[in-house]
Chains A and B, each alone.
Chain A
Amino acid sequence: MLHIVVCVKQVPDSREIRIDPKTNTLIRQGVPAIVNYFDLNGLEEALSLKDRFGARVTVVSMGPPSADKALKQCVSMGADEGVLVSDRAFAGADTLATSYVIALTVQKVEEVWGPVDMVFCGKQTLDGDTGQVGPGVACRLDLEQLTYVEKIEQLDEKRREIVVHRHLEDGIERVKAKLPVLMTAVAELNKPRRASLPGVLRAAEYKPIVWTTNDFANLDRAQIGLKGSPTIVGKTWVPEQKKIDTQMIGLDKGIESAATDLIGQLFSTELPAKLGWA
């Protein structure tokens, strides 16, 4: 049976995020915590593979004890187990330290529940937006790396081959890879399901497994938390909103004339040259 690991992060709901105008940092207080959207796309794909092929789905997350709510949500949707990696020593991690801990966690998941065939991550988080943790984990575990996956075209369990579509800026890339792979999910991949009532009931009584630093035998303490994070934030600021001139083009001369007018105006700017159209 397939074994799929899904990495999730609990993040402040970006719909309700405000920025402190004095310190230019996120005001996290009072903002509801949710599972990072793209991680849910990863989970949904894992669950639909489980529905089709049969699979064991293990969800892992690193975060404070309150992140167990995120794992319970994943269990309510159909994940088999949720592991929360939580320890004060992990706090303050950048993407390098985070990918180190998540990679160790995936290895430990393999020790406990058997070999992993696929790892899903979201393409990026809503609060960090870097998109580095997924690829970082793939590198550390030496997994085939498939980022920005918008469709799984085919999965051949016997040949251990997967064909996916990658969502790139200038088109779609169709890639075939050998398992085990790490995929990062984009929103186009699927629509995350709503938990069934039995799922909600199971989650309400479910206690996620918690691993602390003591649970990892060969943990290098120099590589975790603030100590293991070389990233330095030089400056943060809120971009000023650009004022855009809006001009209404009337349709009184007909749609074709309006379209010609629009194209004319577009080509009078620098944009087509920048895009390589002209």
Chain B
Amino acid sequence: MADAHFNAIVVGAGPAGSAAALTMAEAGLKVALIERGEFPGAKNVFGGVLYRKQIEDLIPEFWKEAPLERAIVEQRMWLLGNDSVAKFGHRNERYLDPPNCWTGLRVKFDQWFAGKAEKAGALPIYETVVTELIRENGRVVGVRTDREDGDLRADVVIVADGVNSLLGKALGAHQEWMPDQVSLAVKEMIALPKEKIQDRFNLEGDEGCTIEFIGQTAGMAGLGFLYTNQDTLSLGVGVMVSDLKKHHIKPYEVLDSIKQHPMIRRLIQGGEVKEYSGHLIPEGGFDALPPLSGDGWMLVGDAAQMVNAVHREGTNLAMLSGRLAGLTAIKAHQQGSFSAGMLKSYDDTIRASIVFKDLKKYRGMHSLMRDVDSELLFNKLPQALNDAVYQMLLVDGVTKKEKQKSAIKLLRSVAGGNMDLLRLGLKGWRAMNG
């Protein structure tokens, strides 16, 4: 294709890629948006929460037209025991106006979002796989696709091809991930009548609720989630791949056993499983961040491992990184240079952004998960906490002082003694605070 030259090629029409394409197309750049799926969203999976802030920065008041499910007014955190649960949570009417976040379905949302980029002028090239980057003199000058006459050239290539980023690996930007740097998440969409969902989760109208839960993941490092959509529930669990490997357990087996848990079972009862999906989540955090740009290329979203696992934020960081990469490309276009030195300013804006700062805060989380026994953190401690709460609330003639003492004793013995409990607490604190 000698006659088709683009200012930018974006590989991958997920949240990061579409945000980049939208930003550049709006500024008048000639953009090609390439997606391997039949349509954007066809190949994408996420737990299901979309945050307002980063989308609003791209499309003001988008919630009036975007396909969203429910506005989250309540977030619950559950620690599951065998047949019990200890709960924390927060509900606030202030989360409604303006909404803080929504549940969403990627198949609908990604199509809509990419559609915005298309309307702004980005050229959609779907059902097309980029097989490699075309490089000349060490500079990325375009992409090779799996279609006939499939070469396409551009000033800059924005790589948004997701967690497994084959192009990122080809660039040498990131190494093959380690099993302790990714989680494998599996998810079921369970259909239930709207009224049932509203009753069971104490919701009105378009209000929504999220539940994340720890415990009952067969002693593996993992986090479960149950989100309310309009007339479906998203129930899933993400488990660290290194633990899955060690325990020889398949992720859907974990999900199946969670579905039988008395606290979960009653919420999904009578529902019909509509969809089953699985995906990798990059959870290496700050230390897994690859170099973000080079001569003629930039790396965004999951491809750059930008996920804050602690706060289950990913799509929003993806969109922000896509927008920042787009802005850098606009600047580069104005100055007529897409050199490594020029594109380095994308790295700088990321460094100054919430992506970098939040990931840095939780920098130690990855090593905490890697080094501390998963069985202790994700099974024994939640169970011990449930047992302790049970004893505290049980009126059986034992004095409260005695009860408190034995509760602390229980937690201490599970953690392996006073010092170990203290050390674990300290490690946890450090992991959460960079």
Contacts and interface: CB of A to CB of B under 8 A. Distances in A.
Contacts of B39: 32
B123 A194 contact: no
Nearest to A34: B38
A198 B4 contact: yes
Nearest to B152: A197
B63 to A, nearest CB: 21
A19 interface: no
Interface stretch (B143-151, B260-268, B283-291, B399-407): B143-151
B303 to A, nearest CB: 22
Contacts of B123: 201, 204-205
Interface string A192-210: 0011111011001100000
Contacts of A196: 147-150
A200 B1 contact: no
A205 B123 CA distance: 8
Nearest to B3: A198
B4 A201 contact: yes
B128 A200 contact: yes
A231 B91 CA distance: 58
Contact of A195 (B1, B147, B151, B152): B147
B1 A198 contact: yes
A201 B39 CA distance: 16
A194 B38 CA distance: 13
Contacts of A194: 147-148
Interface in B16-42: 38-39
Nearest to B150: A197
Nearest to B32: A201
Contact of A198 (B38, B124, B128, B149): B149
Interface residues of A, number: 10
Contacts of B124: 204
B125 interface: yes
Contacts of A32: 38-39
A206 to B, nearest CB: 11
B150 A204 contact: no
A197 B1 CA distance: 8
Interface residues of B, number: 15
Tell me whether chain B's interface is mostly helix, strand or loop, or mixed: loop
B326 to A, nearest CB: 20
B118 to A, nearest CB: 9
A21 to B, nearest CB: 13
Highest count of chain B CB atoms <10 Å: which of A194, A200, A204, A205: A200
B150 A201 contact: no
B125 A204 contact: yes
Interface string B124-154: 1100100000000000000001011111100
A198 B4 CA distance: 8
Interface in A218-247: none
Contacts of A200: 125, 128, 147
A239 B148 CA distance: 44
A51 to B, nearest CB: 13
* Most chain A beta carbons < 10 A, residue from B4, B38, B145, B148: B148
Interface in B179-233: none
Contacts of A195: 147
A249 B265 CA distance: 44
A204 B122 CA distance: 10
B297 to A, nearest CB: 20
Contacts of B148: 194, 196-197
Interface in A160-219: 194-198, 200-201, 204-205
B292 to A, nearest CB: 28
Interface string B145-167: 10111111000000000000000
Contacts of A205: 123
A258 B220 CA distance: 52
A271 to B, nearest CB: 39
Nearest to B149: A196
B37 to A, nearest CB: 12
B122 to A, nearest CB: 10
A184 to B, nearest CB: 27
Contacts of A204: 123-125
A204 B125 CA distance: 8
A105 B1 CA distance: 35
A110 to B, nearest CB: 32
Nearest to B126: A200
A205 to B, nearest CB: 7
A263 to B, nearest CB: 43
A205 B32 CA distance: 12
Nearest to A205: B123
B382 to A, nearest CB: 39
A198 B1 CA distance: 7
B400 to A, nearest CB: 57
Nearest to B144: A197
27 contacts: A32-B38, A194-B147, A194-B148, A195-B147, A196-B147, A196-B148, A196-B149, A196-B150, A197-B128, A197-B145, A197-B149, A197-B150, A197-B151, A197-B152, A198-B4, A198-B149, A200-B125, A200-B128, A200-B147, A201-B1, A201-B4, A201-B123, A201-B125, A204-B123, A204-B124, A204-B125, A205-B123
Given A197-B147, A197-B150, A204-B123, 8 more contacts: A197-B125, A197-B148, A197-B151, A197-B152, A200-B125, A201-B123, A201-B125, A204-B124
